[in-house]
Structure formats: structure tokens, C-alpha cells
Amino acid sequence: MIHYLDNAATTPVREEAAQAALEAMTVGWGNPSARYALGSAAAAQVKNWRSDVAAGLGCAAEEVCFTSCGSESDNWAIRAAVELGKRKGKHIVTTAIEHAAILEPCKALERQGYEVTYLQPNRQGNIDVGDLEKVLRPDTVLVSMMLVNNELGTVLPVKEAARAIKRSGCPALLHCDAVQGFLKVPFTPKELGVDLLSVSGHKIHAPKGIGAMYIRKGLKIPGMILGGGQEEGLRSGTEPTAQIAAFAAAVRAGKASLKENLAHMAELKEYAISRLTGEVPGLVVLVEGGAPHILPISLVGYKSEVVVRYLSDRGIYVSSGSACHKGKPSHVYAALKLPKKEQDGVLRVSFSYDTTREDVDALVEGLQAAGKELFPSLS
């Protein structure tokens, strides 16, 4: 039996989304740009699906642009913001615990002469908005702050950051990577005060290969892909109708049961904390965070990669951090300045609406067995 507890990495495609994709591929398979009935029907469907995603986000349909994933949206937002602000300055502010899809473009811009300030978290993985206020300058053109950290589950002060930018009078646009926040914590882009916001389908039970970017109405940003003029000329290329259909279906289903889903995940997280800390010797919870679906723990004295493989052999799936690290040390946990043995033993447990207490029970039993059967690290 499989016990899947790595929903922050990806989620299983829900039935509604799979059926929507199948229908788009087998019935409504026309090219939305075609000037005949089959194409017009597909275009009408894309319009409806865009409205569904916008309703899930709490914004206008014309503020949603479909992309291939959260990383593409993040990269586009960074590049577009600095292009818009190139006559105003070359200073960027972000946090040291952002996803690599933010940090790597920022590093590339540093090589091009931009100055990037990286806000450091406290031991609990939180960012102090006062630190942001201290570094904002007249030449700051972009602030990028994620909503929910993908490894810690901490909720960052995006709304407060927007207010700080406004008070400072600097020309910075505010971008938010909300990939781990969408349908996990309540928000709308307007409430957050952001100009740009990224989301991804495969984190909410849609297929991989589809995401979206919120672009505040009135903000004219440079296009990502030039060509046929799709997505209002911002991202050319024939629309991936099956992925968009599935994304919209996942958003509809997730939005309809949002209150129940959040309560379920929060209850499971509390249950997991209670059982893990009470029944697994040497285990510590690193950060409890504000998001209901992410729980970072450490089996102190053991190597996380070894524990992950051990659990996998028992059909229990967790990660040693972000899936995007691919075995490399996590910059997020390093930023917390954890003791080496805690950092070496980091595991990320993450829940979804369909995670059960039985999954958590299996994890507890698996970690108990790991502690008895595996050799502790000598480091």
C-alpha cells in the first residue's frame, strides 16, 4: 500500500481534472485560433476555464495568463519587472528562502549589474517586514516574496510588504510566488496588494505542465513568448487545452471544498506533530509554520537521504526538502542556521485533502523502525 506524504512536491491528479483533460483531448480538441466552428468552440472553452481559474484566485479573468508551470511564471515575473523598471533603478529585494525559480534569475541579473538584497529569515523561518523597510530605496524596482515557503510552510508577510513599498514611495513592483499558497491559505491578489503572482497546477491536483500568472489590470508587461499572439500577445503558442481544462477543473473542485480541505489538513498536521514528537525518539519539529499542509521535521543523527530511501522501500513517500534540490543541500534549511545533525536529518512531510490518519500512522511506524534498524550518522 502507498502512503504518499510529499504533496508539496506534486499531487496526484484528481478524477475531475483527469476527466476534463480527456474530454478536451477527445471531444473539444480544436485549435482555439482556428476560424471555424471547432476552433471557436475550443476558444470559448478556454475563456470559460480562464474564468474558473480567476474565480479560484479571486481576480478578473483578464488578469490571468496561462503558463507551463510556476517556475516559468516566476522567471517571467522577474524579467518583466526589471525590464519595466530599467530606467528607474537596478535594485531588487527578495528573501534568502525563495524557490530556486526566483533565486537563480536574481543571480543571473546580479551578473548583469543588478544589486540584489536577500532578506534573511529568523530561526522560525519568518521574514521581518521591518527588515524590508530598511533596505527599500528610490532605485528598488522589484520586491519578490513568496506567500508560503515550500520547505517550511511558513507564511510570509506579503500584504505587509505591499504596504511597506507604498509607504517608502519607491517604484518597486511586488511579485509573489504563491505556488504553495494557492488553495492552501486564503488570499486574493488584491488583498495581498501584489502586481504579479505565480501559481502552478500540479500542486493542486492538476497535471504537470500548466500554471498561471496573475498580472494586475493596467500593468503592461513585456511578453514571454512572441509569435502567434495567444494570451493577449503575452505568451504565444497554441493553447494546451487539455492541461488548461484539467487546471480549471482542479481549481473548481478545490475551491468548492476549500474550507473542509484546510481544516482536514490542519487537523492531520496536529495529529502528525503529536504522534511524531511523542513516539519517535530523537525526532524534532523544525518549524510548525502557518500553512496547514507542510511539516518539516528532523530525525536527528540520521542522514535524510538514507531515511527517505528506507521509507520508500516500505511504500511511504516523503522528501528531504524541495524536489527541485535533487539531493543538493537546501539553502532554506541552511538559512535557519540549524545544528548540523538537525540539518542532515531533515524530512519534509506534506499533506493534501486525501491524506489520511493511516498515512501518518504508517510514517510514525516507519520512522520508529528506521531509528532501530539504521546506523546513526557519524557526522
Residues marked as catalytic: 324
CB 294 within 8 A of CB 9: no
β-sheet bridge partners, residue 175: 144, 196
Burial class of residue 237 in the structure, from the number of CB atoms within 10 Å of its CB (0-12 exposed, 13-18 middle, 19+ buried): middle
Q: Whose CA is closest to 332, among 73, 127, 79, 91?
A: 127
Secondary structure E strands in 82-186: 91-95, 115-119, 140-144, 173-177
Tally the C-alpha atoms within 13 A of residue 248's C-alpha that lie toward its C-beta: 24
Question: Under DSSP, is residue 143 helix (H, G, I), strand (E, B) or coil?
Answer: strand
Q: Whose CA is closest to 161, among 189, 190, 123, 133?
A: 133
Q: What are phi and psi of 340, to 5 degrees?
A: -55, -40
Q: Whose CA is closest to 199, among 288, 187, 62?
A: 187
- Please provide the distance, in angstroms rounded to a whole number, between the alpha carbons at the two ends of the chain: 34
Q: Whose CA is closest to 77, among 200, 158, 198?
A: 198
Q: Whose CA is closest to 128, among 160, 82, 101?
A: 160
CB 295 within 8 A of CB 285: yes
Q: Whose CA is closest to 120, among 296, 284, 337?
A: 337
The three-state (H, E, C) secondary structure of 288-321, written as one string: CCCCCCEEEEEECCCCHHHHHHHHHHCCEECECC
